[in-house]
Structure 1
């Protein structure tokens, strides 16, 4: 019997240690903020706000299946929960609904006019009647939102508990009723003197003058810049006399035709023909460039890259929802970027767009990736004999 009890104790100790080791292993794994650690041993992406988890991802670089919250429920943060939260009901006395519940936001409740909102606990609240200023008080703050009406004592009144009482005797709050002992019968009139100028009063006009001066200088600079720009544009539109093609008509008298210098049938070489290029740029296919980029750029920095290239968060989220495979989603993001540009044709990417792509990678300190792309598509001889 004792041997059996000893075996049970040893078995319990081993089970507890195995759970401790597995918990420590899970805590040691770190995932990005938009992912969570799966019990199968890899990171899974979280669902966006307004969605709940339907099915977990099946492996690395795959996406979880999410479902939008039903009517009457919401989810206001990225999550991997299987259920959404129930919407709040504005059913308190004197309460009204300010903003309705959506799949991404809970209901926002408020109070009717002449009532203010007061939070009682984390999930409890109520609407209380706004107070009115009593006799001898004046209003200093309106009753709105979570603020009750604010009142203070009027002139010639003093604070007496929660009420304001009219001054009737000499007291610190009623100094106008106190008479100095040195002048019991007469009060010396003192002519009002102008208070000395304080620092804020001096700085205010100085700052105003500086702002007006700076605004005038800025407007003058902008006017000169626009004038120069317009003048430069006009100079480009008006051709110079030297560049215009002139046609000369030469009249040869009949007696001099026989002595004229004979013309040959050699073709004339124009300046334009001498400047024709002897090569044309090689076309860079979009899919060739995209697959090369997907192998070079780290997966963890890809969203940052497309954001810097101008792809909106809406297009990024749509690409992730449409493609469970990570690389397919990244390919779609690159397609959105290429479609936003111009030049090169429907399946051809112009060189200046690739140069912008390389400069963006260098700004992200991904110099090695930028150099590989530049050597692959920009630095080589991109021309063929014409």
Structure 2
């Protein structure tokens, strides 16, 4: 058999690739998969998506964010995010712009404790009264009286607790599968009034779980780079402010967290997206939707978890539809 020339083979291969359906092709960098199936270019920071691109690989129609709103990264969000105002005990470090949120810091007489998001007044030496030594006997007497009151309070507490346990039976068969996260928290908090161990209750000599663990099995699917923007949008639409703790619980090292916070210290939105991106690079196929949801629930960010589950369901439906389309084409 005569061998075909190389250039004819290349032409035939190119013609075959051109016949593949658009949705089976992988979108390149700075592109996203549009609803039409085309790979469209992302809108730049400071703009939002007005209309998706009409053809494969073309530019989307993007509009500038209005005053008071921003997008910090390349995106295909259909709206800009509202800039956060400074609190009464904060001063503005950098103003809100179309591509960055407003950055605030505590006023000189205030400080922000590590891990918290609100400023607190600093203690001064004027707040501590000076002592000349004449009040020492009074202080000792007060301390002894305080200890006696504490002991009495503890005795009353244990007596009341013992009586309450006798009067209030606790059921071990609480069905929590169809209870929402907010109602589940109320049940846990109510139980805490009767039992310090919030999640466990002793019944018939055995320990049973009060709140059944959430079933994340249907979300046990690896996250792709194309999914990061959808996850980022779901997080931004929620009121949660402790997303960095979610990334720590999901397995991102403290070194990576601190490096990203340092590199993007004036842009919280960019920090959150870069942490997601680094987490995907580090964890690989272990970076699943389930891992994120579990980390959110462990941080007690149940509202964020519920919001993200709705967005994740849309993503997984899209994957299922693409697989069905591929089966039909095959």
Length-normalised TM-score, structure 2: 0.32
Q: Larger % of helix: which?
A: 2
Q: Larger % of strand: which?
A: 1
Higher RCO by CA contacts (8 Å cutoff, separation 6 or greater): 2
Length-normalised TM-score, structure 1: 0.29
